[in-house]
Amino acid sequence: MIKLRLTYWVALLSIAVSGASILSGKCAIAQISSDENLPNNSKVIQENNTFNILEGTQRGGNLFHSFKEFSVPIGHTALFNNSTDIQNIISRVTGGSVSNINGLIKANGTANLFLINPNGIIFGQNARLEIGGSFLASTASSLKFPDNLEFSATNPQSAPLLSVNLPIGLQYGANPGSIVHQSQATSNNKIGLQVKPGNTLALIGGDVTLLGSILTAGDTPTATAGRIELGSVAGDSLVKLDSTDKGWILNYQGVHNFKDIQISQESIVNASGAGGGAIQVQGKKVSLTDRSRIVSFTFGSQPGGTVTLKASESLNLSGSQNQSLKEYILDITRFAGIKAKDDKGNPVANITNPSLLPYGIFTASFDSGGAGDIIIKTPKFSANNGIFVLSPTFDRGQGGTITLNSGIVELSTSVLGTLSGAGATGKAGNVILKSKRLTLSDYAVVTALSLGAGQTGNLNIDASQSVQLNGSEGLKSGTLPFQTPDVLFNTGLFSISSNADASGNLEVTTARLTLYNGASISAGTRGKAPGGDVRVTAFESLELSGRSPNNSYSTLNANASEGSDGQGGTVKIKTGNLIVQDGAKISVLSAGTGNAGNLEIEANSIRLDKEGSLEATASSGEGGNITLQVQNMLMLRRGSKISTNAGEQKKAGNGGNITIKAPFIIAIPSEDSDITANAYTGKGGRVDIEAFGIFGIRPRDQKTPLSDITASSELGVDGTIELNTLDIDPNSGLVELPTIGVDTEIAQVCDTPDYAQSSFIITGRGGLPSNPTKDVAAPDGVEVSWVSLKPKGDVFDGLRLRNSSSVISKPISNMPERIVEASGWSVNKKGEVVLTANASTAKARGSWQNAIACNIPHAHK
């Protein structure tokens, strides 16, 4: 089960709703009355349950109304009985009470209706609209016009100067009231706030709250969709109004302070049509929770509009707190499998019903018109509990592009991406994500997918500080509508193509990239198209480690899946320190008939440990090539490997090539860490290594339990191995040094008197060979066994390697025995000379026998 997440504002919202309900009851008693502040005052005549609103002051195409109070009780109608030549009905409420709309607001013709009440507006569950134009409800204090005129609700004049021009802005006072919307709109009962196609539905207040409500602009498959605006503005701000052929567009460039927007309790914001309508949401803290949705579908040939969400502080998306993991996976499967038309070309019924969708934000194409883009901008973005942010195409139109720009991005059990559906031919859109820190966990996925003939989009991640992908217990790819070889569905970044002619690419740029617990970064192909490329730039470090409880290892790969004909893509990595451990791997794979791609890595250092691997392998095609350029050291530990093997399924295919340039390559001989370019029936590959030194691993004809370098073929021709190491020859010096370890002869000359000084010097290499790979050259040298430095007791208890530094968790109690240089000698009881560590106190004595050739008598003291 997905963990429940309760935030403090939920409780506050409950209080606010309760307060709104009480307030609603009070306002229902009030009706509609004029404040008599216009040159030609409004008149309100009640006939049964209808309030007929007459007169008002007309200026050109504008009709002004001014009310002391304006509320519509349940079952009542407020009818603006205007002439059909009126373009804009502009109304204000000046009496200081909240407007409670729980009935019908109606106007003649195609006039736009502006309702301004700075004290607040509440739309009850039975509120609905029947107007021919746009509807803008606002808690602004006044409406501004281009000729410096202002229609104010807080400072009404007895004889205001009214304008014939269109309004250009909403001016908010110090403490604008809130807007609460609870109404629902359906095609059957016409309840809810809904405007006709091509018009704007706007709620712009202080705090704006949608509770189990539906806002609709258009929703007619054959007509142009409308536009929806939700804005939450703090005090003393001006929101500009732009009139276009697609309705009114709100401009917040001059607004510096915002308030909160909450969309919850299965609310739906819908601007679908022949071309999907535009939706803009702008506030401080914006939340979409409790199974709510924002939708803009394109049903015809017109291009879809853009869905824009901007929050000055944070944007939080949360699906269902009670949704199970199984339901989340089924939502993915069901949505990805949508088809716009059946096998006979007829539209599929109910596919566009927003209530049947998963929870989240959607633009989509169901015909030749492209899906709209999704743009999100906020300092902090979070999505959890089964949220989807998707822009797919299910037909000929192109999918939309998703652009997410946020300082901190946190996704958990959520999907953000673009999709070309199973029956689609249109190209999937791109995903562009820019942040400081990106964190994905618990099955969160950022993806660009193609499940049909449409081309896959590109996936571009730019996180200046870090990207962290944390997997969890994986699900086998067979539970999804798409499969990738050797990859279980889990947390990660994916660009996957099925039957398209071209695949998308995946690019990640960051300082630190970490994948653990089975997380993945993958670009794959399932069909004839070549797989997409993966490019990773991690300036400081790239680390892959660990696996999920069901043995899903962390991977970074470009692959061609089983049954595919396309070649696998290329993986290019540039990083500071690369660590691959605990079974994790970086790979270019081909499980089909195509060749594996290439793997290219530039790094300061590379450490492979605990079966970590770099692979460019193929089942039946050619093995890929691996190129490593390392500035410092390449280390292989504990069963790790570098492999370009081919014919993994005992089929044809030549082994790929491995090229390594590194100062030092280090392995432990007994740990079975290998560098292999092997084949089964094809020719073995080529291994070229250029290094100053290679330690603990050596070329062999066949793989052994030791650490090997091999380029063999099971049934074909073996490959080649070439090692180019630094070859320093001390023998090239000016003085030829003796090669013997110790000169065993001492010249027989006269003994020295006991009062004379003497010395004994032998110059040579001290027993060292001229090359570290050679033995001591003296044929009569004395062979001495190595002295072990192994400490007494387990000195290494508590020592743990982490990155490149040692961390000591407890002090070392037992120290190893030291070996010191002999500085003296003594004679034991047997008359043998013994070398000692302490300086000798023995007194030199002259020999009692002179050499044969010595005729010089001893000198006396």
- Condensed to tens digits (0 to 9), the pLDDT of residues 619-672 reads 777 888 999 999 999 999 999 999 998 866 666 778 889 999 999 999 999 999
Least confident among 97-106, 444-453, 552-561, 851-860: 851-860
* 715-735 mean pLDDT: 73
Least confident among 50-64, 67-81, 439-453, 839-853: 839-853
**Are 736 and 839 contacting, i.e. CB atoms less than 8 angstroms apart?**
no
Res. 66 pLDDT band, cuts 50 70 90: very high
CATH of the domain at 139: 2.160.20
Length of the chain: 861
Return the sign of the alpha-carbon dihedral for residues 818, 820, 825, 831: positive
Does a structural domain hold residue 389? no
For 759, the domain range is: 748-771+819-861
The reply to whether the predicted model has a pTM over 0.85 is no
Among 251, 274, 298, give the residue marking a domain's end.
251
> How is residue 582 annotated by DSSP?
T
**Are 714 and 680 contacting, i.e. CB atoms less than 8 angstroms apart?**
yes
Does a structural domain hold residue 524? no
**Closest by CA position to 438, among listed 504, 519, 500, 375:** 519
Please compute Rg for the chain using Cα positions: 40
- pLDDT value for 790: 46
- pLDDT value for 559: 87
pLDDT in tens, 667-702: 999 999 999 998 878 888 999 999 999 999 999 999
Q: β-pairing, 805-808 with 799-802?
A: antiparallel
At 455, list the tokens: 């081309």
**Closest by CA position to 269, among listed 233, 312, 245, 305:** 305
- CA–CA distances in Å: residue 556 to residues 173, 524, 562: 54, 11, 18
**Closest by CA position to 74, among listed 31, 28, 106, 115:** 28
Residue 406 Ramachandran class (φ > 0 left, ψ -120 to 50 alpha, else beta): beta
- pLDDT value for 9: 37
Q: How far apart are CA 626 and CA 617, in angstroms?
A: 10
Q: How far apart are CA 68 and CA 138, in angstroms?
A: 16
- Residue showing tokens 């307060």: 19
- pLDDT value for 567: 80
The rounded Cα 599 to chain-centroid distance in angstroms is 22
Return the sign of the alpha-carbon dihedral for residues 38, 40, 46, 49: negative
Does a structural domain hold residue 400? no
Longest dimension (CA), the chain: 154
**Closest by CA position to 303, among listed 244, 376, 246:** 246
Does a structural domain hold residue 333? no
* 297-319 mean pLDDT: 96
* 734-763 mean pLDDT: 54
Among 231, 251, 271, give the residue marking a domain's end.
251
Res. 337 pLDDT band, cuts 50 70 90: low
Least confident among 406-410, 729-733, 779-783: 779-783
Sheet holding 169-171, edge to edge: 150-152, 142-144, 169-171, 238-244, 247-251
Does a structural domain hold residue 134? yes
**Are 754 and 844 contacting, i.e. CB atoms less than 8 angstroms apart?**
yes
**Closest by CA position to 428, among listed 403, 396, 405, 461:** 396
* 738-756 mean pLDDT: 53
Instruction: Tell me the sheet residues that pair with 47.
Output: 50
Give the Cβ contact number of residue 339 at 10 Å: 17
CA atoms within 13 A on the CB side of 478: 1
* 272-297 mean pLDDT: 95
- Residue showing tokens 């090239």: 732
Does a structural domain hold residue 11? yes
- Sorted by sequence, the CB contacts under 8 Å of residue 742 that are 6+ apart come out as 762, 764, 767, 778, 781, 782
State yes or no: pLDDT of 750 exceeds 60: no
What's the domain count of the chain?
2
Residue 46 Ramachandran class (φ > 0 left, ψ -120 to 50 alpha, else beta): beta
Least confident among 155-164, 634-643, 724-733, 792-801: 792-801
Does a structural domain hold residue 4? yes
State yes or no: pLDDT of 861 exceeds 50: no
At 239, list the tokens: 């929101």
- pLDDT value for 483: 42
- CA–CA distances in Å: residue 716 to residues 8, 678, 858: 69, 10, 83
**Are 66 and 34 contacting, i.e. CB atoms less than 8 angstroms apart?**
yes
Give the DSSP H/E element, type plus range, for residue 331: helix 325-336
Question: Over the chain, what is the mean pLDDT?
Answer: 82
- pLDDT value for 482: 42
The rounded Cα 472 to chain-centroid distance in angstroms is 16
The rounded Cα 165 to chain-centroid distance in angstroms is 48
At 465, list the tokens: 């500080």
Q: How far apart are CA 545 and CA 559, in angstroms?
A: 20
pLDDT in tens, 101-156: 999 999 999 999 999 999 999 999 999 999 999 999 999 999 999 988 899 999 88
Does a structural domain hold residue 169? yes
pLDDT in tens, 354-388: 666 789 999 999 999 999 999 999 999 999 999 99
Among 251, 285, 320, give the residue marking a domain's end.
251
From the number of C-beta atoms within 10 Å of its C-beta (0-12, 13-18, 19+), residue 398 rates as buried
